[in-house]
Structure 1
């Protein structure tokens, strides 16, 4: 096998590994209910924080708050997946590598 090809593959592998490590430092933010619930999710799909406005808390309507939290988390995870895919695609030079995400 061509030594140059092996070197290129090793460099690509190193870029991918570095990009995957960086995902933990990237964040995506999403909110629901006009900002009543805000969620921050890292690029490696970990929920970093959930902020709930005092106005969103009502003992008489817990289900509404649950729905807002669920909507914000779902949107945050989707944004995080998109962020991660774009970051990894940049690291691979636009190559679509199956199973990378």
Structure 2
């Protein structure tokens, strides 16, 4: 029975750490850039856009170029968010992976 108790205790500990991790993830802010920093996008930990910065110089470009730069900056921010989220989850789980489970984002 002692082994089972240890397993339950570890599961409770992991649950607590994951809750803390989820709260920390919500606080994350990441930046994505494109076009030599002419477009910047800030995402929060849930993947919502918090801010878009567009340089005055790039506004003179063709609309399709600006659209492509916005998409590229957003994709860069999502990549950065995924990395930061994985770091935070690894802290909570000690690198413990769950087979077949894919983290969001």
TM-score (norm. length: structure 1): 0.89
Distance 1:44 1:21 in 2: 11
Contact 1:44 1:84 in 2 (8 A): no
Give ranges in structure 1 of 5+ residues lacking alignment: none
The Cα shift of 1:43 comes to 2.5
1:3 aligns with 2:5: yes
Structure 1 match to 2:19: 17
| Structure 2 residues without counterparts, runs of 5 or longer | none
Where does structure 1 differ by over 6 angstroms across 4 or more consecutive aligned residues?
Answer: none
Correspondences of 1:1-101 after superposition (within 5 Å)? 2-58=4-60, 61-97=62-98, 98-101=101-104
CA RMSD between the two structures = 1.5
Deviations 1:65-96 (A, max 9, x none): 10110100011011101110111011101111
User: Counterparts of 1:47 and 1:22 in 2: how far apart (Å)?
Assistant: 17
Q: For residue 54 of structure 1, give the secondary structure of its aligned residue in structure 2.
A: coil
What is the alpha-carbon distance in structure 2 between the residues aligned to residue 99 and residue 33 of structure 1? 31
1:73 to 1:100, Cα distance in 2 relative to 1, 3 A: closer
Measure, in 1, the Cα distance between the counterparts of 2:38 and 2:19: 37
